[in-house]
Amino acid sequence: MASLGNAGGTSSPMVMLAPKTKTKKKHFVQQKVKVFRASDPVLSVFMWGVNHSINDLNQVPIPVMLLPDDFKANTKIKVNNHLFNKENLPGHFKFKEYCPQVFRNLRERFGIEDQDYQVSLARSPPVRGGEGQGEGLLLTSYDRTLVVKQISSEDVADMHSILSEYHQHIVKCHGSTLLPQFLGMYRVSVESEDSYLIVMRNMFSHRLLVHRKYDLKGSLVSREASDKEKVKELPTYKDVDFRNNMQKVYVTEEEKEKFMEKLNRDVEFLVRLKIMDYSLLLGIHDVARAERDEEEAEEPGGEDEVEPDNGLAPAPLVGSYGTSPEGIAGYMNSFKPLGPGEFDPYVDVYAVKSAPGAPQKEVYFMGLIDVLTQYDTKKKAAHAAKTVKHGAGAEISTVHPEQYAKRFRDFIANIFA
């Protein structure tokens, strides 16, 4: 515990009095076995920090209930690391975790064990390319179960301002939500440059590849994928494309009702917080195409591709952890293998299967993204400008939170066949 400095000046005497030199030596003893090697020093420190913070949290009993101070707390560690693991970690760095007890509690409510979270993030470096889960730099954990998103210091402040309400919402809905599952928030400082990172569950599958993807806001003004976007391997299509492609989501009536109930509950929560400009991220896995791709990949004489293009994501390599946790998706390997288009609902929590009579067999991944935009002066200014340009009644994307929510819900209710 001596290593943790608490924000808000509420540090216990033990923390205050701990001699700093001792603290630093302590870490190197326990870290020697693991090497946090990433090409980017920020990532190496991030992996080291997550590993360190989970180890520290394990020493702290789980509180009976969260207190208001937990929503303001943070833990910091500063390392002047001249000798240990020099080839992988920078000489000096700082790592800060925001609201550790709150995020620990959220992980538990989302059914994610701390040890699995630690393995998924720290065993092997996260890689670029989270599948369009909002704006900004995105990384995916090596086992594809988590997304690490780089955010701004303003986003950190916004997150703090909604965290208490968000936590209450997750408690009320028993973790059953279309909102992003926020699992941890950190600041990494290397060479006096600060990087802010937030960790979320991957909305897409760690196993089933997404063949088509949409970002839907319920507005048709300037909501079409650009030509530059359309030539990408997996373009992000938008509302106009959804209409033009005659796209539909084919699920059972029961699944649609369950989905709309979640959506309405989550959108009401966002309206209460005056949040808008969020989207529905829709990913579509085409089961027949995945099977075809897999058969082609298995044909003898087919060249080994570095990036397998069959409909399944390559299985993550298992590290030398022996019988220790296998990461969030790891325990799946010990059960019967999943067939085409099958998924574990405890891991792929945003997934829904297409209905039995659908034109083709598909799996849909649907969740809400970009939920940190509050209706503030910036939005009001954009709304005024767009009203001047398009006229007061036009379907523009910058409107008031209530209007935005109504338009969004009406549009989403009609995406189903």
**pTM score of the predicted model:** 0.81
Q: What is the DSSP string of 22-88?
A: HHHHHHHHHHTT-----SSHHHHHHHHHHHHHHHHHHTSPPPSS--GGGGT-EEEEEEE-SSTTTTT
Asked if residues 4 and 76 have their Cβ atoms less than 8 Å apart, the reply is yes
Catalytic site positions:
149, 277
Cα angle 18, 183, 239 (rounded to 5 degrees) comes to 150
Each residue's pLDDT tens digit, 294-326: 888 877 654 544 444 445 554 444 333 334 467
Question: What pLDDT sits at residue 306?
Answer: 44
Question: What pLDDT sits at residue 337?
Answer: 74
Each residue's pLDDT tens digit, 339-387: 889 999 989 999 999 999 999 999 999 999 999 877 764 555 665 666 5
CA distance 164 to 168: 6
188 phi/psi in degrees, rounded to 5: -115, 125
Using pLDDT thresholds of 50, 70 and 90, give the confidence band for residue 236: very high
Q: Edge-to-edge strand order for the sheet containing 5-6?
A: 5-6, 74-80, 92-98, 182-190, 193-201, 146-151, 138-140, 127-128
Q: What is the DSSP string of 161-199?
A: HHHHHHHHHHHHTTT--SS--EEEEEEEEETTEEEEEEE
Each residue's pLDDT tens digit, 148-165: 999 999 999 999 999 999
Residue from 365, 349, 369, 379 nearest 216 by CA? 369
Asked if residues 100 and 125 have their Cβ atoms less than 8 Å apart, the reply is no
pLDDT beyond 60 at 331: no
CA distance 242 to 355: 20
Please report which residue ranges of 237-314 form alpha helices under DSSP H: 239-244, 253-272, 287-298
Q: What is the dihedral of CA 314, 315, 318, 324, to 10 degrees?
A: 150
pLDDT beyond 70 at 130: no
CB-based burial of residue 112 (10 Å sphere; 0-12 exposed, 13-18 middle, 19+ buried)?
Answer: buried
pLDDT beyond 60 at 53: yes
| Pairing mode of beta strands 146-151, 193-201 | antiparallel
